[in-house]
Amino acid sequence: MRSDIILGILIMALCFISVPIIAATVGGWYAYWGTLLLSMVWSAVILWLKISHWENE
Amino acid sequence: MIMASIPLPTPESTIAVGIAVASMLAISVGIGVYFFRRSKNFDEWMVGHGDIGPVVTGLALTATWLSGWAIYGNAGLGYTYGWSGSWLIGTANLMGLSLCVVLGYRMRRYAALGARTVPEVVRIRFNSRLLQALAGLTMMILLIVYSVGQYKAMASVWRLTTGTDWLWSLALTAVLCGVYLALGGYAGTQFSLALQGGIFMVVGWIFGIASIFWAGGPAKIAEAISASSFVRPGGASTPVSLSGYTAPISPAFPGYDWIGVTASLFMFLFMATGFPHNIARFLGLRKTTKKEYTLLMIIVALNCVTPLMVGAMGFAARAVWGSDLMTLAPVYGDAAATLVSMALGGPVGGAIFSMAVFAAAISTLAGMVMIMATNVTRDLINNVVPKASPRLLLLTSRLLIIPFLAIPLWWTYTSPPPVLSEFMSGSAVAQAGIFFFVVAVSMYWKRATKFGAIATIIYGMGVALLHPSVYGKFFPPFNHWGVWALALIFGCGAIYLGVSLLTKPVPEEQLSKIFSKQDQ
């Protein structure tokens, strides 16, 4: 597997795992909007992976 | 805590809501009429001309994704459960929908091979008519359940803003929805969905932000939530604090503990792609450039913020009204968003918000009804009788819209589910577990087999019956929502993987027609 794909998946996994961690540790509005922020990062990374391995379906 | 009076419906609000909802539906019917001329045969009615652009597809995708749950039920979750309601609000819903955008794009390849419905994608992938029929039947069962939630959202908001009985207003809404579905087919519905998605995005953002200021700002809301405890519908107080992201209310509540939290995160991750009415949005998408594809993703990202905005309205309502709404039978905390919109903007505010709820609920309902009608005609009738007349199939599909709109309406009227979002999450988990693997993963994993897919459907439907509110309460540990949801989702994954690896692979010559050289 290419290194950029591994890096992308690692960042996405980190974003996903961070959601309950910030909820348990920080809580409140920070966790609420922080989850959205992590989702935005996830979304940007998955878009980058798709674009960089573009296939004409 | 700030205390303010709870708004009540007035004759002005009744008129304003009627006008707002009727306007939105009238435009949708107009779109349906416009596309009537472009849906000449059964194929065109089912999937259009494959020429729909990224903006319409992006908005339509968010419209089918964000239903009455997001625009109505979310405020109820925030209001009733505090921060622990965030998991069902779907704070991480963008992760799931962006995954759907990436995986779902391959639907175009199957559309080019002749797929007109989601189960037909499965038939082409596995060369199995039995699997197509089974997938179609499963979708129908799960989508009927999910449809009830849409009617309940519309019914509750109608009652709250007008104070009148909702049956006839909803029956009329269903008729108008049926008209634009029957006339416009897939393409007309896709454009109506885009309009509705745009409406609730703008409305949800405006009311969400305004509600935070109305309640005195984020710090005051957080302070009020921290000081609150869970109050049961009816008004009985409990000592369970709402200050944290878990609340030990009942094992059947997803925010009960971190197992439930984990399950709800995976549910949101998989269900956006698992929803057949979501992934079907890509069947009519035209070939896009990378820039257009990025635009589609940006639209999706912007509208996935809307559920959080509506959730914030629930927190704001809790800060202002305390637990007063928990005595407001029969909707209780679910009344929060509507009442906040009326408190913020009077009858006009209530009307605009009601229009957004109707837009969200009717768009998801339309997407599902379209799927169910074609499940019967294309995936069952045409599957068994391949030479059936396309004209007859088109007429039958149009007629089937009537029962698929009427059955959930009748269900909602005679036996409405008590807590909207929890009820819908039962169907959502099953769709996530089954169709994420059977449809989406199968488009990418060459080693998947039809036996793996069939076993996944059977397992998923079986475990769905063990939902904590159905039979799970008699069979611990399935009385715990998190355990049940994880068993369903990951059980489906394990069965799909295991049975596929143990059974004969699809012949290479057949796979070469579906997978490109880049996939080899």
- Per-residue model confidence as pLDDT tens for chain B (520 residues): 455 789 988 999 999 999 999 999 999 999 999 999 888 899 999 988 889 999 999 999 999 999 877 788 899 999 999 999 999 999 999 999 999 999 999 999 999 999 999 999 999 999 999 999 999 999 999 998 888 888 888 888 898 899 888 888 889 999 999 999 999 999 999 999 999 999 999 999 999 999 999 999 999 999 999 999 999 999 999 999 999 999 999 998 999 999 999 999 999 999 999 999 999 999 999 999 999 999 999 999 999 999 999 999 999 999 999 999 999 988 899 899 999 999 999 999 999 999 999 988 898 899 999 999 999 999 999 999 999 999 999 999 999 999 999 999 998 888 776 655 666 777 889 999 999 999 999 999 999 999 999 999 999 999 998 999 888 889 999 999 999 999 999 999 999 999 999 999 999 999 998 997 666 5
Alpha-carbon span B277 to B100, nearest angstrom: 12
Q: Are residues A30 and B493 in contact, defined by beta-carbon separation less than 8 angstroms?
A: no
Token pair listed for B351: 């009307």
pTM (2 d.p.): 0.94
The helix/strand/coil state of B446 is coil
Q: Which residues of chain B neighbour A47 with C-beta distances below 8 Å?
A: 98, 102, 293-294, 297
What pLDDT does B69 receive?
A: 72
Question: What is the distance of C-alpha B317 from the center of its chain?
Answer: 24
Angle at B31 between CA B30 and CA B35, to 5 degrees: 115
Look up residue B130 and give its amino acid: L
Alpha-carbon span B21 to B25, nearest angstrom: 6
Residue (of B223, B158, B202, B412) closest to B310 by Cα position: B202
Look up residue B79 and give its amino acid: Y
Question: Is the CB of B92 less than 8 angstroms away from the CB of A38?
Answer: yes
Alpha-carbon span B177 to B63, nearest angstrom: 15
Q: Are residues B464 and B487 in contact, defined by beta-carbon separation less than 8 angstroms?
A: no
The helix/strand/coil state of B52 is strand
**Nearest-CB residue to A43 (from B94, B265, B290):** B94
If you compute the radius of gyration of chain B from its CA atoms, what whole number of angstroms results?
22
Cα end-to-end span (Å), chain B: 62
Q: Which residues of chain B neighbour A43 with C-beta distances below 8 Å?
A: 94-95, 98, 297, 300-301
Alpha-carbon span B378 to B390, nearest angstrom: 10
Closest chain B CA to residue A22:
B245
Question: Is the CB of A57 less than 8 angstroms away from the CB of B109?
Answer: yes
Q: ipTM of the predicted structure? A: 0.97
**Nearest-CB residue to A46 (from B102, B261, B305):** B102
Question: Is the CB of B261 less than 8 angstroms away from the CB of A31?
Answer: no
Residue (of B511, B493, B442) closest to B103 by Cα position: B442
Closest chain B CA to residue A42:
B95
- Is A30 an interface residue toward B (CB < 8 Å)? no
Alpha-carbon span B189 to B180, nearest angstrom: 7
Model confidence pLDDT, tens digit, residues A19-40? 999 999 999 999 999 999 999 9
What pLDDT does B3 receive?
A: 57
Question: Is the CB of B293 less than 8 angstroms away from the CB of A32?
Answer: no
The helix/strand/coil state of B41 is coil
Task: Determine the residue among B98, B228, B306, B313 to mutate to test chain A binding: the one whose Cβ has the most chain A Cβ atoms within 10 Å.
Answer: B98
Alpha-carbon span B447 to B500, nearest angstrom: 7
Cβ neighbours, 10 Å, residue B165: 12
DSSP string covering B343-396: HHHHHHHHHHHHHHHHHHHHHHHHHHHHHHHHIIIIIIIHHH-TT--HHHHHHH
Token pair listed for B362: 């009717």
Q: Exposure pattern of B344-366 as b/e (b: 16+ CB <10 Å)?
A: bbebbbbbbbbbbbbbbbbbbbb
Q: What is the dihedral of CA B469, B470, B475, B478, to 10 degrees?
A: -50
Residues belonging to chain B with any Cβ–Cβ distance to chain A shorter than 8 Å: 83, 86, 91-95, 98-99, 102, 105-106, 108-109, 218, 221-222, 225-226, 243-245, 258, 261-262, 265, 269, 287, 290, 293-294, 297, 300-301, 304-305, 308, 311-312, 516, 518
Beta carbon pairs, A and B, within 8 Å: 90
What pLDDT does B520 receive?
A: 52
